[in-house]
Structure 1
């Protein structure tokens, strides 16, 4: 038989209406907006830190605790839902994560003190950590092989989420005449955003790659038929002899089932090339995430003594610059640069921007440099989000992505506290900027050992050749 893998069935069906639904369901407000939600909350926390610091008279370190609580949740969420997604299915996890984030954001809206807010932010991070490890996997397993560059384009919803939050914050700052803190209203608006996301996500189907990898051939055929009817208007059926051969092959090989122990999944992840992938990706995500998250969280502080309304307007401009970054990134990953050298180029340019931020003496230069930096970082992330799920085999793809994203959040737990402490010190700003530049450079160099995935995907063999 010539067709051996789920993505080859999807390639045969082609891109169409259902594919676009999954694209938006993995990115935007009309459905699950996984990446958009994550960056939305990264930017929300910048406003929460600034607002709660005034409302509860918090110190810089206490404000950093709020950011660290969210980062700790991201760490745990990546691990927990990475395992759940590979054991019980992508959709089981994908629907649970957004529900956790929705309930927790409601609690955060009405939080009374630092401790209640920290708990709510931890749970929001738990849900968002799961979102990050699942979004790339879900889209990758619904996408035809020839359209895999759309995985990079999905990162545009990072910029959509952050720009949306900045616009909401700006409008609220202008129009709020109540005694309710502006950060609470911003979080309440995000609750609506997530509610819409949850409703649309209820209608998503399990990925055919996951179903086929665990031997549920009939359900795989049903999902592929649904996709084909919406994409082409024609039904899709597997030949009965092919179904029997797939079933026999699956039963005869040593395959990890979702009922297998967590230890079995973890053991497979930390063997051979999978272990090397985990180490490389952890270094990349940690070194990119520390400066990026720090800059996001403390942008109002970095902008200096300007009005809140002006700060919100500037942040809108900065976050909007991420949109061309994604477009450039999604184009570059399919050029001769490929995935890994797009990462190198992007974060090298981000590191260079830190140099100009270091010597910046006026607000105009800071705005230009931070806007360019945001564009380059998002461009790099778009390539990272593409190569990560493509590199791991299907049976450990979700736990691998979850482990990588979880480890990257370990540093994010302490980075708000470290950055907050640095900015409270004399000459702390230049030290922080030098640290950011060095970490971006580490990320750029770390991409070199990766295998390029532009022309091939790592798969689970279902049939012998």
Structure 2
């Protein structure tokens, strides 16, 4: 991606000689912002089931965003949106790292389902993905973007004071509800502001997922190996001699709270221009972009008159072009991919501590165990960075970046079944964390890119919700089937082979095309 001090994208001059493709339909003669900044100026979904006015206005809007280019605003939004990724991954792992120690204390009197926290977490994430996804398409992105992290922060802190297994499960679910919309909102908000030449950076933004995992690893590494804060006899466990898991929650909650405040204080986010355009609020679209251009001394030729010249956005007959069935097929394939990765990812990642303890016979100190766990999580940061560069290469693109990530993951899952030493375990775990996130990071971005703006959050929300359902199923599989055999690893390897095949068959390639 370019630096904030880089030069704006090349000037955009009108080109009345263009052909009759979707990009030419959107042109208005004589307007400098009516030509695209990418190759032929093709908008990814211009030929799909859209009304003509919306397609033409979206083309003008994309041109204006390209003309402004990358600014410090986009750097800030890259980080603030990334915070949501970090929190989502923290939520997925927090309950897994504290579950065993918390179970000794709060469930000692009445028992309870041992993997209940995992189910509660995924239930909250499921509801959150659907709720915030639909909400973001109905009332806008801004309110949800500013609310989700605060809810997650408050619930995380309160969870640390939970007196019972049931109350802990409730607040873990509430954490998931707050964080559950982030994988929907964050790429959506960022995508609807980012210039097309840097659209690949949405893939790289998933590195924040690895940052969240690393936070969890470092926090767990700091508290859980301390014998003075962890009891081993259930009948003797109290708040005072078993406080490590509570300190993990308190610390994580404080970090999430700082992130939530940063979203409000660092950038006073306005509603995204593509959402406003879909709502027919043309004047606000122009005001929003002109404000960014003025603040960063960038050109922006978009005017209200240009948008108004294409009429109001109303239901219209389907346009000629690519059949709408292509978009429907793409949607189903993306949802299927999220479903499969929703089973494969937690079978290995969320239950990694128990898999390690069952696969490696060598006795390790708690300190070394959590150190290795942290190293694995830190390695996940590298995957999306690799994915970002691969996805911007013309002959690879988004689709084959996912194929590469999935196949590499499959190979190392099979290799992991032969691990017998601590050194091998650390090496394979770190490589797997990297490879999984090459695939996963690209899937995040691809999902946002292939949905039209009016339905982007809802479509992404359903995808993430399917992912969460499979996460709950994985918790049951882990509890009933155990993690003391290599079977989960073989299952994960097979699932990633299927994911590679599905990725290769996706009907859209967003590389070099502009999202709606």
**TM-score normalized with structure 1 length:** 0.88
Among 239, 243, 246, the residue aligned to 1:184: 246
Per-residue CA distance 1:177-231 (angstroms, 9 max, x = gap): 5535212111111211221222222322211111112111222122112321333
Once the two structures are superposed, the pairs formed by residues 350-365 of structure 1 within 5 Å of their partners are 350-365=409-424
Distance 1:196 1:222, change over 3 A: farther
Q: How many residues align?
A: 433
Q: In 2, distance between residues paired with 1:381 and 1:82?
A: 19
Could you tell which deviates more after superposition, 369-378 or 71-80?
71-80
Could you tell which deviates more after superposition, 406-415 or 43-52?
43-52
Could you tell which deviates more after superposition, 8-17 or 322-331?
322-331
User: How much does 1:353 deviate?
Assistant: 1.1
Unaligned runs of 5+ in 1: 28-32, 256-270, 460-465
Higher share in helix: 1
Match of 1:390 in 2: 449
Distance 1:204 1:443, change over 3 A: same
1:7/1:142 contact within 8 Å kept: no
Per-residue CA distance 1:390-425 (angstroms, 9 max, x = gap): 10111111111111111111111120121132226x
Among 335, 354, 364, the residue aligned to 1:282: 335
Match of 1:258 in 2: none
Among 51, 59, 69, the residue aligned to 2:120: 69
Q: In 2, distance between residues paired with 1:140 and 1:54?
A: 44
Among 164, 175, 187, the residue aligned to 1:113: 164
Distance 1:50 1:366, change over 3 A: same
Q: In 2, distance between residues paired with 1:442 and 1:117?
A: 36
Q: In 1, distance between residues paired with 2:316 and 2:145?
A: 27
Q: In 2, distance between residues paired with 1:276 and 1:7?
A: 25
User: How much does 1:334 deviate?
Assistant: 0.9
User: How much does 1:165 deviate?
Assistant: 1.7
Could you tell which deviates more after superposition, 79-88 or 315-324?
315-324
Q: In 2, distance between residues paired with 1:301 and 1:253?
A: 54
Match of 1:216 in 2: 281
1:278/1:403 contact within 8 Å kept: no
Q: In 2, distance between residues paired with 1:234 and 1:391?
A: 28
2:60/2:302 contact within 8 Å kept: no
User: How much does 1:358 deviate?
Assistant: 1.2
Once the two structures are superposed, the pairs formed by residues 67-146 of structure 1 within 5 Å of their partners are 67-146=118-197
Once the two structures are superposed, the pairs formed by residues 216-255 of structure 1 within 5 Å of their partners are 216-231=281-296, 233-234=297-298, 236=300, 238-246=302-310, 248-250=311-313, 252-254=314-316
Q: In 2, distance between residues paired with 1:55 and 1:402?
A: 36
Match of 1:197 in 2: 259
Q: In 2, distance between residues paired with 1:302 and 1:5?
A: 52
Among 295, 298, 308, the residue aligned to 2:348: 295
Name the SS of the counterpart of 2:163 in structure 1: coil
Unaligned runs of 5+ in 2: 1-27, 29-33, 36-58, 230-239, 318-323, 358-362
Q: In 2, distance between residues paired with 1:355 and 1:272?
A: 37
Q: Are 1:453 and 2:510 counterparts?
A: yes
Name the SS of the counterpart of 1:339 in structure 2: helix
Match of 1:41 in 2: 91
Distance 1:419 1:173, change over 3 A: closer
Match of 1:403 in 2: 462
Q: Are 1:339 and 2:421 counterparts?
A: no
Q: In 1, distance between residues paired with 2:127 and 2:327?
A: 21
Match of 1:262 in 2: none
Distance 1:348 1:108, change over 3 A: same
Q: In 2, distance between residues paired with 1:46 and 1:323?
A: 20
Among 357, 370, 373, the residue aligned to 1:312: 370
1:49/1:297 contact within 8 Å kept: no
Q: In 1, distance between residues paired with 2:71 and 2:137?
A: 27
Q: In 1, distance between residues paired with 2:331 and 2:111?
A: 34
User: How much does 1:121 deviate?
Assistant: 1.4
Match of 1:272 in 2: 325
Q: Which of 1 and 2 has greater Rg?
A: 2
Match of 2:271 in 1: 206
Q: In 2, distance between residues paired with 1:61 and 1:330?
A: 43
Q: In 2, distance between residues paired with 1:295 and 1:53?
A: 21
Among 436, 450, 455, the residue aligned to 2:492: 436
Name the SS of the counterpart of 1:429 in structure 2: coil
Q: Are 1:152 and 2:210 counterparts?
A: no
2:337/2:499 contact within 8 Å kept: yes
Q: In 2, distance between residues paired with 1:253 and 1:238?
A: 24
**TM-score normalized with structure 2 length:** 0.79
User: How much does 1:51 deviate?
Assistant: 2.0
Q: In 2, distance between residues paired with 1:195 and 1:290?
A: 30
User: How much does 1:157 deviate?
Assistant: 0.5
2:67/2:299 contact within 8 Å kept: no
Per-residue CA distance 1:366-407 (angstroms, 9 max, x = gap): 221111111000111121112111101111111111111111
Q: Are 1:418 and 2:477 counterparts?
A: yes
